Amino acid sequence: MPEPDHVRSPRTGYTRAHWEAAADGLLRAAWRWATPHGALLDLPGRASRSGTRSDGLEGYARTFLAAAFRTAGASGADPAGLLERYADGLTAGTRTPGRDDAESWPLIGDYTTAGQPMVEAASVALALRLTRPWLWDRLDDDTRARAEEWLRGALRHTPAPNNWYLFPLGVAGFLESAGRGDAETRAAIERGLELLECWWRGEGWYADGDGRAFDHYNGWALHLYPLLHAHLAGDEALSARYGPRLREHLAGYAPTFGGDGAPLHFGRSLTYRFAACAAVGLGAVTGYTPLAPGVSRRLLSGTLRYFLERGAVDADGLLTLGWHGPHDATLQTYSGPASPYWASKGFVALLVPSEDPLWTATEEAAPSEGPDRALALTAPGLLVHSTGGDGLVRLHNHGSDTLRPWQAEVFEEEDPLYARFAYSTATGPTARGNPPDNHLALRLTGRPGAPAAWSVRRRVHPLGAASAPDGEWGWAASWHRPVFPAAVPAPPSLRVESVTVVCGRWEVRAHRVVGAPAGTRVRLTGWAAGEDLAAELVPLHGLAATDPLRAPHGTAYARWVRLPAVEGEVSGTGVYVAAAALGGGAGREGGRDGGRDAVRDAARPAVGDAARDAARDTARDAAPRVTVSEGAEQAVVIEWGGGAGRRVRVAFDPLTVEQPAGD
């Protein structure tokens, strides 16, 4: 990598030259594993569920995308001769597709049988579109005909019912740009754009298919494909439709990057890593961005540097399957050795000319490096919560899950990457089979010898979200039906209503349990923080401290963690409240290593603790207090800053969250 430039880039040291060097290094390393004619890049590692041949195509297609952004951004300059290699690979792979030999590409099928090649066809098509003057237009007619026939398989088979419908759109867009459009290509584009409208939820957010799956696919797929298609086609009408949506998305998405450049560890396909900044780059490419050029580059370079400095690339120069380094719990069954190379989408920023302010302006602070802030994203039901002093960003999830409307809620299918109430840029969820972090669980008391299990959260029903205009505080709420194993008879009408209210580094988690059988246990857990990060959980109402829970599988950030936990008991209806904090509390009392996983019982402070707190913490930093009214209403009044700051009142049935008059 070039030497850092801390004049132009005082926060990251990265310039366009660093981006080009990163792309070159990744491509150089990946090509060492190519087949003799370059049709497949068989990278080392565990096979995906699609098999090694599909994985080899994935290696070709996803690295081709990086090479295309790199070459097109340099106006065709290709000193390493990458495009010639990809041209040879295209020729070899499409000569006899479907044949079991050293080079042939797998045929494209329906998503239920042989669908993964459809995903890779979209990358091949976009790369061919970007490099058409230097690659496609120089191929012989027979090769172009064979490649077109293979690509058209994406138009003739059924995609998965989500962002996959944008893959035929991308293939069709290339074919039309190459003068090979027809009724079949037009139908694919129209169908993709039609479904995109069905998934549009407003405020810059799409659901990934029917249901409420909101995650990083918004940026690296649902915004990327249609707007880049419109931009490359010069279609002003389509750009005018999708461009403002991206601009609105970035206004809420940019604040989710940590001060260290980390994206949120939330949702599936996280091994794509710095693809998380693709939407930022797309905004710079198309002009549809609310961000100043110095802010955009700060986010882009911060994310790239974050991963390159934390083990994302192994000793062979290859992207690993994981987050920082290898991490199995981050993966899905469709993840194969070349899957991480969807990170190539982050290189879309290289399409911006080198003389553009994106590359020449001085870096500016990221949104998370400013004042503490709460930002409600009401359409997806998410609450972004950041603290400027440490650059940590948390995401409180009251609106995203993975269930389609027709799917049942099954205990065994709980997904830690969506089911938790909170995620962050510095912690990952604990793995399935370990105690869940940031979770409210119930355990029913049954007959002696009957199975007992803590419940999981599957379908999330949003109840609202809002934040103060100045970002001083905010809230989000939802309800869910606790889900138990099939062997545990679930009582009717059992539900949990949950509200998260944030201010400064603190978050108050208020839960109302409705319809619980007598003696039902309640357990609330906090952040799964590693050794170098403080985490606190303070029981405020209906809960008491319990021993930390051991999670030996750890997280993407820590090899082994202990979870702060509090417990209580409910019969019928009850309200349970705790305050949680991540970061900013190193050295506070309790817990392992001077405050790690600390659980403080607000009702029974240790002798001398109050005096030490008063000397050490400001009123704003003190844990909030709550009072809960008696009777049917059971309203929760939160007093921030140890009673010296603002108050917020939370009432259930109907849900209201407001500041009392006069505050």
Q: Which CATH class, in words, describes the domain spanning 373-658?
A: mainly beta
User: In which band, very low, low, confident or very high, does the pLDDT at 601 lie, cut at 50, 70 and 90?
Assistant: very low
What are the two backbone dihedrals, phi and then psi, of residue 648, each rounded to the nearest 5 degrees? -135, 135
Statement: residue 612 has pLDDT above 60: no
Mean pLDDT of the 577-605 span: 50
- DSSP readout, 350-402? GGS-TTSHHHHSPP---GGGSS-EEEEETTTTEEEEEETTTTEEEEEESS---
Confidence of residue 447 (pLDDT cuts 50, 70, 90): low
Q: Where are the domains of the chain?
A: 16-369, 373-658
Say what the pLDDT of residue 593 is.
Answer: 27
pLDDT in tens, 271-325: 999 999 999 999 999 999 999 999 999 999 999 999 999 999 999 999 999 999 9
pLDDT band at 590 (very low <50, low <70, confident <90, very high): very low
pLDDT per residue as tens digits for the range 222-245:
999 999 999 999 999 999 999 999
According to the model, what pLDDT value does residue 445 have? 84
**For 246-266, how does the pLDDT look when each residue is reduced to its tens digit (9 = 90+)?**
999 999 999 999 999 999 999
Rounded CA gap, 449 and 66, in Å? 58
- Grade residue 149 by pLDDT with cuts at 50, 70 and 90: very high
Q: Which amino acid is at 471?
A: G
Query: 526 pLDDT exceeds 80?
Result: yes
Cα 635 from chain centre = 34
Could you write out the three-class secondary structure of 114-144?
CCHHHHHHHHHHHHHHHCCCCCHHHCCHHHH
CB 60 within 8 A of CB 38: yes
CA-closest candidate to residue 482, choices 452, 503, 458: 458
Q: What is the pLDDT of residue 451?
A: 64
Q: What's the average model confidence in pLDDT over 635-652?
A: 85
Tokens of 126: 């976009």
> What pLDDT is recorded for position 114?
85
Handedness of CA 553, 554, 560, 564 (dihedral sign): negative
Share of the chain above pLDDT 70, in %: 93
Q: What is the pLDDT of residues 70-81, one digit of tens each?
A: 999 999 999 999
Which residues share a beta bridge with 581?
506, 536
Give me the pLDDT at residue 357, please: 98
Residue 490 — pLDDT band, cuts 50, 70, 90? Answer: confident
- pLDDT digit string, tens, across residues 450-483: 567 999 999 999 999 999 999 999 999 999 999 9
Q: Please calculate the CA angle 321-322-325 and round it to the nearest 5 degrees.
A: 100
Q: Helix/strand/coil (H, E, C) string of 166-191?
A: HHHHHHHHHHHHCCCCCHHHHHHHHH
Cβ–Cβ < 8 Å for 73, 124: no
* Residue 615, pLDDT score: 41
Per-residue exposure over 377-414, b if at least 16 CB sit within 10 Å of its own CB, e if not: bbbbbbbbbbbbebbbbbbbbbbbbbbeeeeebebeeb
The CATH fold of domain 16-369: Glycosyltransferase (1.50.10)
**Band of residue 631 on the pLDDT scale cut at 50, 70, 90:** confident
Nearest Cα neighbor of 94 from 158, 134, 144, 135 is 144
To the nearest whole number, what is the mean pLDDT of the chain? 93
Helical segments of 588-644, H only: 609-616
Q: What's residue 384's pLDDT?
A: 98
